[in-house]
């Protein structure tokens, strides 16, 4: 049996109150404007509102109705909601809240496909209300939710393990070398361009389709997913013809995002474990002598300094010249290599955890398909 969302819960669309009522002093109710306030399960309080217009109840499901559409959180207190959110108060006589959470988590693509708007896609109350939910007997709903909760819990645990390992490597770096921005150990600081070759990528002409094929991966900034150390696989490849017109690097180089829509993405880095070409949003850092894993963590922990050099007048661009002239601490190679050995051992552990995570995510997708179609 299918039911419309409006038949199983009260839908309260958010509305932005007057900005003069916003405050950071704890005056009024916590105010959540949209997906940017969301955490893993519960939103993080950054703002309060003294005169709320739309209020969500404690334990309501909060759903993002503006790009990105479909993200979910649980209200852990009474709160004010802005126009980027809707609050769902579930009728638990007919639908288990944890069951609805899982159903909605599988409808993100569907809801996004119904979004309208030229700048930011959004869905309205009518679209949300008419979303169809498979409504099973309440006991069966709870059994399904319990299974999915268990798998989701294991997925969260694996992700926490990965985060913990990254924190351990970060702590090891600071223990051995100190904070690279403050450089408390007094290592010699040298311009990056003197220690490494800096290469800006390019785009072979789109006007000539023969430039594109399946000869070599053509990396873009979305393949650099910090804190993942290695590049993801490119979605687009160049042909052998395109290869002769591109810029490429071999394994053992570092690729850095230097042009991006979000300033937070600038300075993201990934290590190449194969020969790749790359576009003009990326600068390659090719070490002449330094260990690439030391360079990876050096750049990662130096992002605040990197961001301070960005030319915001040019929409946030870190040029090849700016990057080349930036000075970083370079400790002895022997210490860099010791750190690299530690990182490689940690990466092996992370690889095992990632394999387990992939299996769990595949299992969850299969269960979602089995339960909800």
Q: Structural domain of residue 170, as residue ranges?
A: 136-185+331-373
Residues 318 and 231 grouped into a single domain: yes
Taking only the tens place, the pLDDT of each residue in 272-298 is 999 999 999 999 999 999 999 999 999
Query: Among the three residues 292, 309, 328, which one is the final residue of a domain in this structure?
Result: 328
Residues 174 and 270 grouped into a single domain: no
Task: Please tell me the predicted confidence (pLDDT) of residue 314.
Answer: 57
142 pLDDT more than 80: yes
Q: What's the number of domains the chain is made of?
A: 3
Beta-strand relationship, 61-64 and 72-74: antiparallel
Task: Residue 75: give its domain's CATH number.
Answer: 3.90.220.20
Task: Residue 357: give its domain's CATH number.
Answer: 1.10.287.1120
Task: Please tell me the predicted confidence (pLDDT) of residue 309.
Answer: 84
**Mean pLDDT, residues 18-24:** 94
Residues 12 and 24 grouped into a single domain: yes
Predicted confidence band of residue 315 (pLDDT cuts 50, 70, 90):
low
The lowest-confidence range among 293-302, 303-312, 347-356 is 303-312
Residue ranges of the alpha helices (H) in the chain?
5-8, 97-105, 108-113, 125-129, 138-177, 192-195, 240-243, 292-301, 303-308, 320-325, 333-372
Residues 32 and 91 grouped into a single domain: yes
The gap between the terminal CA atoms of the chain, to the nearest Å, is: 13
Taking only the tens place, the pLDDT of each residue in 168-181 is 999 999 999 999 99
Q: How many CB atoms lie within 10 A of CB 35?
A: 21
Residues 167 and 266 grouped into a single domain: no
Residues 9 and 126 grouped into a single domain: yes
Residues 240 and 195 grouped into a single domain: yes
Residues 195 and 273 grouped into a single domain: yes
Angle between helices 97-105 and 138-177 (to 10 degrees): 60
Predicted confidence band of residue 312 (pLDDT cuts 50, 70, 90):
low
Predicted confidence band of residue 150 (pLDDT cuts 50, 70, 90):
very high
Average pLDDT, the chain: 95
Q: How many angstroms separate the CA atoms of 53 and 308, rounded?
A: 39
Taking only the tens place, the pLDDT of each residue in 180-210 is 999 999 999 999 999 999 999 999 999 999 9
316 pLDDT more than 80: no
Tell which residue, 231, 205, 232, 234, has the closest CA to residue 219.
Answer: 234
Task: Please tell me the predicted confidence (pLDDT) of residue 118.
Answer: 80
313 pLDDT more than 80: no
Taking only the tens place, the pLDDT of each residue in 204-234 is 999 999 999 999 999 999 999 988 999 999 9
Tell which residue, 10, 14, 18, has the closest CA to residue 32.
Answer: 14
332 contacts 159 by C-beta, under 8 angstroms: no
Q: How many angstroms separate the CA atoms of 71 and 311, rounded?
A: 33
Q: What is the pTM of this model?
A: 0.85
Residues 117 and 162 grouped into a single domain: no
Query: Among the three residues 134, 169, 202, which one is the final residue of a domain in this structure?
Result: 134
Residues 318 and 244 grouped into a single domain: yes
**Mean pLDDT, residues 97-117:** 95
Query: At 31, phi and psi to the nearest 5?
Result: -120, 120
Residues 291 and 321 grouped into a single domain: yes
Q: How many angstroms separate the CA atoms of 60 and 90, rounded?
A: 7
Q: How many angstroms separate the CA atoms of 4 and 131, rounded?
A: 6
**Mean pLDDT, residues 111-128:** 93
**Mean pLDDT, residues 160-170:** 97
Residues 214 and 283 grouped into a single domain: yes
Tell which residue, 57, 127, 138, 155, has the closest CA to residue 100.
Answer: 138
Tell me the three-class secondary structure of 330-352, residue by residue.
CCCHHHHHHHHHHHHHHHHHHHH
Taking only the tens place, the pLDDT of each residue in 31-84 is 999 999 999 999 999 999 999 999 999 999 999 999 889 999 999 999 999 999
260 pLDDT more than 90: no
**Mean pLDDT, residues 124-144:** 97
């Amino acid at each position: 049996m299918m039911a419309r969302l409006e038949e199983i819960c009260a839908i309260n669309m958010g509305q932005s109150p007057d900005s003069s009522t916003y405050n950071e002093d704890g005056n009024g109710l916590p105010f959540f404007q949209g997906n940017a306030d969301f955490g893993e399960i519960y939103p993080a309080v950054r703002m309060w509102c003294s005169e709320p217009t739309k209020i969500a109840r404690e334990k309501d499901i909060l759903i993002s109705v503006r790009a990105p559409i479909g993200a979910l959180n649980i209200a852990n207190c009474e709160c004010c909601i802005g126009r980027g959110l809707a609050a769902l108060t579930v009728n638990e006589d007919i639908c288990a809240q944890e069951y609805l959470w899982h159903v909605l988590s599988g409808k993100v693509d569907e809801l996004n496909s119904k979004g309208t708007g030229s700048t930011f896609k959004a869905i309205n109350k009518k679209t949300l209300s008419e979303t169809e939910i498979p409504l099973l007997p309440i006991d069966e709903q709870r059994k399904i939710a319990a299974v999915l909760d268990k798998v989701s819990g294991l997925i969260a645990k694996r992700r926490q393990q990965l985060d913990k390992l990254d924190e351990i490597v970060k702590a090891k770096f600071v223990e051995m070398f100190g904070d690279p921005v403050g450089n408390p150990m007094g290592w010699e600081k040298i311009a990056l361009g003197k220690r490494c070759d800096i290469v800006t990528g390019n785009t072979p002409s789109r006007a000539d389709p023969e430039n594109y094929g399946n000869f070599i991966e053509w990396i873009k900034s979305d393949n650099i997913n910090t804190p993942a150390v290695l590049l993801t696989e490119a979605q687009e490849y160049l042909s052998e013809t395109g290869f002769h017109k591109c810029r490429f690097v071999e394994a053992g180089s570092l690729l850095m995002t230097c042009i991006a829509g979000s300033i937070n993405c600038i300075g993201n880095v990934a290590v190449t474990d194969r020969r790749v070409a790359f576009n003009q949003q990326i600068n390659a850092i090719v070490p002449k002598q330094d260990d690439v894993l030391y360079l990876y963590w050096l750049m990662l922990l130096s992002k605040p300094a990197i961001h301070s050099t960005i030319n915001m007048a040019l929409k946030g661009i870190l040029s090849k010249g700016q990057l080349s002239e930036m000075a970083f601490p370079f400790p002895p190679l022997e210490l860099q290599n010791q750190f690299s050995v530690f990182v490689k051992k940690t990466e092996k552990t992370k690889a095992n955890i990632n394999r387990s995570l992939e299996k769990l995510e595949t299992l969850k997708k299969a269960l979602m398909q089995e339960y909800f179609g």
